[in-house]
Chains A and B, each alone.
Chain A
Amino acid sequence: MPERTPMTLFSMTTRAMSAQMVRMNAATSNLANAGSVSSTEEGAYRPIRAVFATELDRASGLAGVTSSGLVRAETAATKRYDPGHPLANADGNVFEAPVDETSEMVEIMESARQYQNLVQALQTAKQLMLETLRSQ
């Protein structure tokens, strides 16, 4: 692990919020690509997911979170027979992106809820710290 400043409550929350942003952006990209078609099975869009990992800071005992990368789902593209489509292949099939809109919406809602929770916790912690500072 590279040398860096010890984790504080603020830096931990910042990183967690960034991770939630990555997750929300991934779900939004999936939603944006729902219904996109391709003429080959390999060319079809596959939904992406953010993978989270814990990073423990032993000095302060805080456990932050980081998004360790994005993975593509291994779902098969939906084959649809549509010979009139300009992207249809020789057999008259097009391949649709296998995006489940409902699950993406749920993912976004869950992420938004956890983001809200983080902001609220940070606000409370900040208020308590300020109170402690102001007391003579």
Chain B
Amino acid sequence: MNERLFGIHGAALTLRSERMGVIASNIANAATPGYKARDIDFNAALDARLDRSRGTAAGNAGIVWRNPTMPSMDGNTVELNREQVAFAENAVAYSATLSFVQGKVNTITRALKGE
């Protein structure tokens, strides 16, 4: 039902929210020695999720390690500027997906009310 109503946007919104958590984890661990920054490859993760909801694939796909421009001596691979940009980009994409979902909901509501 969820997939028929919202199409790709339901899964995309969940994934955007998960990615926000992952990037926030990176920002939180900016000073932890030995911490390896993670990210979610959005396209791969979305494909995997859609496959899973169709019952063909499973697993935690899309998690990638960040490749640092300059590795630091304590083994931490968080680069604050990159995390900031990724977080901002993800927030904008979340807003976009949310407005798609909202549009769908509005359409359905109107159809139900018969306006």
Contact = CB atoms under 8 A, between A and B. Distances in A.
Interface of A: 9, 12-13, 15-16, 19-20, 23, 51-54, 60-65, 110-111, 113-114, 117-118, 120-122, 124-125, 128, 131-132, 135-136
B30 interface: yes
A131 B98 contact: yes
Nearest to B63: A61
Contact of B28 (A13, A61, A128): A13
Contacts of B65: none
Interface residues of B, number: 33
A114 B24 contact: no
Main secondary structure of the interface of B (DSSP, over half): helix
Interface centre among A64, A117, A118 (most CB of B within 10 A): A117
Contact of A125 (B20, B84, B98, B106): B20
Contacts, number: 89
A52 B24 contact: no
Given A62-B22, A135-B101, 6 more contacts: A12-B24, A52-B32, A63-B35, A65-B31, A125-B20, A136-B109
A3 to B, nearest CB: 22
Contact of A54 (B13, B29, B88, B91): B29
B98 to A, nearest CB: 6
6 contacts: A9-B20, A12-B25, A51-B33, A52-B31, A117-B80, A135-B105
B40 to A, nearest CB: 9
B6 interface: no
Interface of B: 13, 18, 20-35, 38, 80, 83-84, 87-88, 91, 94-95, 98, 101-102, 105-106, 109
A136 B31 contact: no
A26 to B, nearest CB: 12
Contacts of B91: 124-125, 128
Contacts of A61: 18, 21-22
A52 B32 CA distance: 5
B28 A118 contact: yes
B17 to A, nearest CB: 8
Contact of B25 (A19, A20, A64, A135): A64
Contact of A63 (B25, B87, B105): B25
B98 A111 contact: no
A15 B27 CA distance: 12
